[in-house]
Amino acid sequence: LWVAGKCMYKLEPVVADGGELIIYAPHLSEISTTHGALIKEVGYHVRDYFLKQPDRFSHIARGVLAHSTHVRGGGTYEDGVEKPRVRVTLASQVPPEVCAEINLGYRNPDEIDVESYANREDEGVLLVRKAGEHLYRLRESN
């Protein structure tokens, strides 16, 4: 997920508030071979979740925290309540209980028909193949 998460921070700017970004990675079976234990410890959270609790996460490498916030995206953390701007769902071999532990949604990749998402931009649905390769922004409307 260390690399697969790139699709979130590259596509987040074009996901509507409250929308969902599905990371479809049926080949993915673990969070990270290098940082998996630390990621499982902290989970995926918005930036303010970490900034407002610095002592709690002082022992975690900043690169791991940055990865966490990049995958989780923008949002707020006020009075102990985290409100992410976007729902992030992982469709992979990572079990649903692990996804819940790390604060991500889960979908069974075997039940996803990728092509059913194609050509539905008029409905507010965007399929992006190899989503981590490009950075996206919304065009300003006049």
- Dump pLDDT digits (tens) for 63-104: 999 999 999 999 999 999 999 999 999 999 999 999 999 999
Q: Do residues 69 and 8 touch, judged by C-beta distance below 8 A? A: no
User: The tokens 């992030």 sit on which residue?
Assistant: 88
Establish if 62 belongs to a structural domain: yes
Establish if 75 belongs to a structural domain: yes
Looking at the 3D structure of the chain, how many domains does it have? Answer: 1
- Checking if the pLDDT of 131 tops 90, the result is no
CATH of the domain at 126: 3.90.226.30
| Predicted structure pTM score | 0.88
Establish if 106 belongs to a structural domain: yes
Q: Which of 2, 1, 11, 4 is nearest to 74 (CA)?
A: 11
Q: Do residues 79 and 108 touch, judged by C-beta distance below 8 A? A: no
What is each CA distance from 45 to 27, 40, 88, 110, 112, in whole angstroms?
24, 12, 11, 27, 25
Establish if 138 belongs to a structural domain: no
Q: Give the integer Cα–Cα distance in Å for 49 and 31.
A: 20
- Checking if the pLDDT of 1 tops 80, the result is no
Establish if 63 belongs to a structural domain: yes
